[in-house]
Amino acid sequence: MNRPLLEVADIFRSFGAQFAARGRTLLSWPQHKVMRAIERCRTAALGTHRDRCTKGGHDFDVSYNSCRNRHCPKCQTQARNQWVAARTRDLVPLTYFHVVFTTGCGRGRIPRPARHSVCPQVCSTLRKPISAPLCLPRKTSLSTS
């Protein structure tokens, strides 16, 4: 896989110290630690290890150690890709739509007992265009959580 032209670590290395010096109150100590870990990830600062062939046991390359921080884009790319692949396998081969209704700025969150009075109107509003003759036959799933 080719390395991208610019990574988060490159930006942190170029501007991180300047940003941290200027905005000391903007970064908490855990955020500063994450930024520092991403800066150092897969560099000589964290050391190296030898990559070894699983069949013959021969060393074939030397790689830099990773930070293993859960916020690091380099370290978490493989885990994210595996998670996305697993979720993709769970999907039915259909087009999905996610519809969100807001209740107005002054009302806030609808209490759970009141949802039962609002949800029938929302459901009937959604079912009208779905059941139109031009739409393909489909099943709707409506959640009130």
How many distinct structural domains can be found in the chain? 1
Whether 141 maps to a domain, the answer reads no
Most confidently predicted of 55-59, 71-75, 119-123: 71-75
Q: Which residues contact 49 (CB under 8 A, 6 or more apart)?
A: 62, 63, 65
Average pLDDT over residues 128-135: 60
Do the Cβ atoms of 120 and 110 come closer than 8 Å? no
**121 lies in some domain:** no
* 98 phi/psi in degrees, rounded to 5: -115, 115
- In a domain, residue 15? The reply is yes
In a domain, 24, yes or no: yes
Is 117 part of any domain? no
Q: Of residues 66 and 123, which shows the higher confidence score?
A: 66
pLDDT digits (tens, 9 = 90+) for 92-114: 787 767 767 665 555 556 666 66
Is 134 domain-assigned?
no
- Residue 60: per-residue pLDDT: 78
Query: What is the residue range of 36's domain?
Result: 1-48+60-106
